[in-house]
Amino acid sequence: MYSVRHALAHGLLGTTLCLLPAIAAAGSDWRACVDIEADRERLACFDRLAAQKPAVRERPHQAASKSPERESAGREDDDAAENTLPLISTVDKKAPVALEQRLRSEESGEHNPFVMRGYNPNYMMPATYTPTDLGRPVYDFDPQHAETKFQISFQFNWLDEPLGDGTALYFGYTQLSLWQTYNTELLGGEEDASSPFRETNYEPEIGLSIDTDYRLAGLSFKRARLSLIHTSNGQGGDRSRSWNRLAAGVAFGRGNFAGRLRGWYRLPEGTEDDNPDMTDYMGYGDLVLAYKWNRQTFSATLRNNLQIDSNRGAIQLDYTFPLNKRVKGYVQYFNGYGESLIDYNRSVSRIGMGIRSEDWL
């Protein structure tokens, strides 16, 4: 029979053989265990080393065997893995990152009954100035060159998925106002002016929204819309201005760049049309281009009647910068026809500053 000492020695030998991989990975620490005289403590030392997870290292022969072709393939695999990230990542420069964020923000607002979804930009510019003479015979006051300009716009879905996934029957509303805030006797204006609203335009619309995923010329086309739009200033007599149109538009983007191209057809109004030449000045569509950079947004809105002999149009340039998580500083420049319905056939230039909550991006 083996003695207890011999049995313990054999047990230690077997345990040591099982632990050799872990001991080798542990480096020089195993030598400290060998120097321990007590059998039980020496075995416990080997057990502790075995419980440690050695770092996985690449074998020298494996590193040497890597060819340039394999390294290139590895980089391609890494790139492919990066391109599987969500669209809000900036890794895929071709993805409509900024536009995707805007559309996702709209979707989250649609499912929250306590949140009003923005549509066109919402802004308030208490300080604007135009060198254009705003006087018209239809006014019972003399407009000043300085006034307040603001816009309110929202949207919501009447019906989700009427024609399948990614479709919605939506309603939108936009209101633009030009307010003669400083036209009072107290501020040196007319005695009887009493800070009137010079013009307010009301624009409800209803239409079909269709989410798309189509790529062309490096651009991703994400949403198309077919709309019926009514625009009016709510006035009667000589101040009355209104028109109705059918519009079709599509939103597109690439990285931090996004845009919207829209065309429209004016619906005939018969012999009682107050402004039959509206499209001669407002054109047949508009183009919005926007770019987001370091939480700042630069955008331009362009319109043109596409006529060579009597070419007319308008451009609006916008710049926004963050003030806090909800409000942005805002600078706007406008030049051309159709800033408002009352001025649809008069060229106006204006510069203004204020705040903006809803942005294109």
Q: Would you please indicate which residues are annotated as catalytic (active-site) residues?
A: 230, 232
β-strand pairing of 257-266 with 197-216: unpaired
